C-alpha cells in the first residue's frame, strides 16, 4: 500500500526528471496534491515541446538549412524533405536486445505504424490470412476490413486447438495486448509452427514488460519473424501524453530464431519505409520524449506501471463484488482498465454520454477523474468502449497511478455512481 506521502515523493522525482530536460530548469517544489502533480507534469511537457520548437527552428519541413541538427534529448534525427527518409538514433523504448540489432521505423502514431506495415505486406503477399484474437482493437480490425484487401480477416476460435499450426496460404497472427487475459493465454498455448509472421501490438504493455519477453520466447520456439507495433502516447511518457508517436520494431532474427517463410522481414521493412514515405506518416522529431532512456526514467516507469497494475487488481476485485452483473470485462491481460455495462444495451452515443456524466459528477465531488480517451494517466479516465467481436458498447475506466487509499475511495465511488444511475443510463 502506497501512502499519499510516498506517492507525492515519487511524483516529485518524475517532475524533476521532466524539469531537468529543460534548458532553463524551473524551481519545482514537492507537489502537495494529486491536482498539483497533474498540472506540473502537463505544464512541463508543454514547456519541453515549446523549447524544442524554439531551439530547432532551422529544422523545417523542407530541411533548407544545412546547419540544422534536430535533436530531442537522447534522440538525434536526420531527414530531407517532409521527413520522408527520417533516420532516428537514440535509445529503444523496449528492453535492450541481446544479440543482433532490431530495426525501428517511427511513425506519427501507433495506427500509422500498423497501417503502413499491413499495406506494405501487399508487396510481398498477394493473398493470405491475418488471424486476430477475439477482443482485438476495433480500429485495427476496421483498418483490415476496409483497406487491407489482400489479407482475409480470421478471428481465432476458442479453444484454438491447432489453428495456428500446419502449412498452407501465408498466415499472419496479430497478437493484441488489449485482449482479455484468458484469450491472450490461450493464444500462447498454441502451436505457432504454421505462422509466417507475428505482428505484436505491445501498446498496453510497458516497454520492459515480462509479457513481451514471453511472447518473443514463444515466437523463438516456432521460429516466427516478429514485428512489434506500438503507440508511444500511452505508457512511455510518464503519463504526460508527450506527443503522438508510433513505431514498428522488426525484431532481430537472432532474438526469435526466425527463418524466412512467405514473408521476408528485411524486404517487409524496406516496403514499410516506402509506405511511410508515400502515406506521409513519418514521425515528428518534437514528439520524441527527451526524458526517456536513463536509469531514472526506467525506474520511475516501472514504479508507476506497477502502481497502476496494483490499483487495477483492487478495482477488478471491488467491481466483481459490487457490480458483478454490470461488469463487461474486468480481466484484460494488461490490467490497465476495466469495462462496465448498463442493464440495457448502449449504443455509442449512450456509452459516450455515460462516460462523460460519470467523470463530470465524480470530478465535482473532488475525485481525480476525467473524460479522456486514453490510459496510463495520474487520473482515472473514462471513455466509451466498443467490443468489435461482440458489437457491444460499454464504458471503459482506465486505472490511474494514484495512492492506494485514494484509488480505493474512487473505485468505490465509481461503483456507487454506476449502480445509482442505471435507470438514467437505460434511457440514454
Strands 246-250 and 197-201 turn out to be unpaired
Count CB-CB contacts under 10 A for residue 27: 5
Q: In terms of Cα–Cα distance, which of 368, 377, 365 is closest to 241?
A: 377
The whole-number pLDDT of residue 100 equals 54
Round to whole Å and give the CA distance between 205 and 215.
12
Q: Is 133 helix (H, G, I), strand (E, B) or coil?
A: coil
The whole-number pLDDT of residue 252 equals 83
Say yes or no to pLDDT of 120 above 60.
yes
Q: What is the mean pLDDT of residues 22-50?
A: 96
pLDDT digits (tens, 9 = 90+) for 192-204: 999 999 999 999 9
Round to whole Å and give the CA distance between 282 and 109.
9
Say yes or no to pLDDT of 99 above 60.
no
Give the bridge partners for 226, in sequence order: 198
Round to whole Å and give the CA distance between 353 and 360.
10
Domains of the chain in sequence order? 4-55 (no CATH), 71-287 (3.40.640.10), 296-427 (3.90.1150)
* pLDDT confidence band for 6 (50 / 70 / 90): very high
Contacts of 323 (CB under 8 A, 6+ apart): 340, 415, 418, 419
Residue 97 DSSP label: P
Q: Is 407 helix (H, G, I), strand (E, B) or coil?
A: helix
pLDDT digits (tens, 9 = 90+) for 80-94: 877 888 999 999 999
The whole-number pLDDT of residue 256 equals 73
Say yes or no to pLDDT of 209 above 50.
yes
Round to whole Å and give the CA distance between 162 and 326.
34
Q: What is the mean pLDDT of residues 211-223?
A: 95
Say yes or no to pLDDT of 49 above 50.
yes
pLDDT digits (tens, 9 = 90+) for 332-354: 999 999 999 999 999 999 999 99
The whole-number pLDDT of residue 428 equals 42
H-state helical runs in 162-264: 181-188, 210-221, 253-256
Say yes or no to pLDDT of 66 above 80.
no
* pLDDT confidence band for 182 (50 / 70 / 90): very high
Amino acid at each position: 500500500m502506497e501512502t499519499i506521502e510516498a506517492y507525492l515523493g515519487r511524483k516529485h522525482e518524475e517532475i524533476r526528471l521532466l524539469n531537468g530536460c529543460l534548458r532553463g530548469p524551473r524551481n519545482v517544489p514537492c507537489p502537495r496534491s494529486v491536482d498539483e502533480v497533474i498540472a506540473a507534469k502537463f505544464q512541463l511537457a508543454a514547456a519541453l515541446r515549446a523549447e524544442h520548437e524554439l531551439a530547432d527552428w532551422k529544422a523545417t519541413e523542407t530541411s533548407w538549412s544545412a546547419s540544422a541538427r534536430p535533436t530531442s534529448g537522447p534522440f538525434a534525427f536526420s531527414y530531407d524533405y517532409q521527413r520522408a527518409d527520417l533516420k532516428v538514433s537514440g535509445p529503444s523504448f523496449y528492453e535492450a536486445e541481446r544479440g543482433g540489432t532490431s530495426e525501428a521505423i517511427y511513425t506519427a502514431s501507433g495506427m500509422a505504424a500498423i497501417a503502413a506495415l499491413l499495406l506494405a505486406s501487399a508487396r510481398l503477399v498477394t493473398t493470405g490470412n491475418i488471424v486476430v484474437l477475439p477482443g482485438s482493437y476495433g480500429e485495427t480490425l476496421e483498418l483490415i476490413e476496409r483497406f487491407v484487401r489482400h489479407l482475409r480477416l480470421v478471428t481465432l476460435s476458442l479453444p484454438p486447438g491447432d489453428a495456428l499450426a500446419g502449412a498452407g496460404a501465408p498466415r499472419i497472427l496479430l497478437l493484441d495486448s488489449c485482449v482479455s487475459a484468458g484469450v491472450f493465454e490461450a493464444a500462447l498455448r498454441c502451436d505457432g509452427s504454421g505462422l509466417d509472421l507475428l505482428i505484436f501490438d505491445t501498446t498496453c504493455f510497458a516497454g520492459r514488460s515480462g509479457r513481451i519477453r514471453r511472447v518473443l520466447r514463444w515466437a523463438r520456439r516456432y521460429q516466427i519473424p516478429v514485428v512489434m507495433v506500438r503507440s508511444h502516447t500511452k505508457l512511455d511518457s510518464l503519463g504526460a501524453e508527450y506527443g503522438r508517436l508510433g513505431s514498428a520494431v522488426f525484431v532481430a532474427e537472432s532474438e526469435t530464431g526466425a527463418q524466412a517463410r512467405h514473408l521476408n522481414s528485411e524486404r517487409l521493412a524496406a516496403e514499410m519505409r516506402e509506405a511511410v514515405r508515400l502515406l506521409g506518416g513519418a514521425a515528428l522529431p518534437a514528439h520524441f520524449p527527451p526524458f526517456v532512456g536513463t536509469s531514472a526514467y526506467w525506474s520511475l516507469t516501472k514504479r508507476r506501471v506497477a502502481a497502476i497494475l496494483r490499483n487495477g487488481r483492487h478495482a477488478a476485485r471491488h467491481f466483481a463484488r459490487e457490480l458483478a452483473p454490470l461488469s463487461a470485462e474486468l480481466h484484460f491481460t494488461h490490467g490497465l482498465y476495466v469495462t462496465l455495462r448498463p442493464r440495457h444495451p448502449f449504443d455509442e452515443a449512450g456509452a459516450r454520454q455515460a462516460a462523460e456524466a460519470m467523470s463530470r459528477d465524480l470530478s465535482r465531488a473532488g475525485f481525480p477523474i476525467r473524460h479522456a480517451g486514453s490510459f496510463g494517466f495520474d487520473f482515472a479516465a473514462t471513455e466509451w468502449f466498443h467490443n468489435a467481436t461482440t458489437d457491444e458498447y460499454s464504458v471503459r475506466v482506465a486505472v490511474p497511478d494514484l495512492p492506494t487509499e485514494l484509488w480505493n475511495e474512487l473505485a468505490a465511488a465509481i461503483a456507487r455512481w454506476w449502480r445509482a444511475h442505471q435507470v438514467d443510463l437505460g434511457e440514454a
